[in-house]
Structure 1
């Protein structure tokens, strides 16, 4: 299925600006993917959400994709994108790449141009490389899943 970008609605919210329905939708999606689908018991509520911007992409009335935009100095010295998710129903449509392009652009607009660091699941390394990220570190285990840090330089 091909993605119809015109059908998407995007919102960027600070934590304090969420209405309860938006907050419930994003926490549910994060739980569906990271806890249930990936069978990974971990504490999602890490006290960083309150310090970040949140990019939500809706298709019709459904939250289809989400990313947390992290200012420099919170997770890493650099700005970061985390909790990157597309809903199961939206996978294979190109929405993941669209989410990342919008997240990168939003980071530059919110925090200025600079490097962006992510903690990628190892299997997704080629996907992030296609967006200009390069491996920057060694593979490590996070909650039973192999991860690796990657960075996108401004000119990449």
Structure 2
């Protein structure tokens, strides 16, 4: 297995294709949620993923603040269906949090997560800062970690 961390301009065409393919497979197809997955934020983001035999099995991105937001965020956190339950979600979250703490020295991290995962994100120190609301038909909650 191989952990990879790249900025957008470092990605190969093949890597970008894999990223978009796995995100669409999980967030659009698996969750039966048609929404604009390609959101214009990838160019500014740091992409982190785990590969196993050239397959991307876990992924997230770190997005800098934009449009009135004050904090960097962790988003598009996923583990592919056949790889769930192996601890990869915890590993990728720890990697993203460590990067934000050590490399960017941020004092807060923002997370816009699906409501059913709030206890998972809470286990890292994220606290809910919004009520549960629907986005694209899926309950979400905003969460913030103070470092």
TM-score bracket for the superposition, by shorter chain length: over 0.9
The alignment yields a C-alpha RMSD, in angstroms, of 1.4
5+ residue gaps, structure 2, are: none
The Cα of 1:63 is off from its aligned counterpart by 0.5
Is 2:31 the counterpart of 1:38?
A: yes
What is the alpha-carbon distance in structure 1 between the residues aligned to residue 69 and residue 139 of structure 2? 19
Matched, 1:54 2:69: no
Partner-residue secondary structure (3-state), 2:85: coil
Q: SS of the counterpart of 2:3?
A: strand
Task: Indicate the residue corresponding to 2:142 in structure 1.
Answer: 149
Normalised by the length of structure 2, the TM-score is 0.94
Stretch of structure 1 that moved more, 28-37 or 64-73 = 64-73
Aligned to 1:11: 4
- Number of aligned residues: 147
Post-superposition, which runs of at least 4 consecutive aligned residues in structure 1 deviate over 3 A?
none
Over 3 Å counting, the alpha-carbon distance change for 1:35 and 1:75 in structure 2 is farther
Report the equivalent of 1:111: 104
**1:82 aligned partner:** 75
Q: Give the C-alpha shift of residue 113 in structure 1.
A: 2.8
Name structure 1 gaps, 5 residues minimum.
1-7
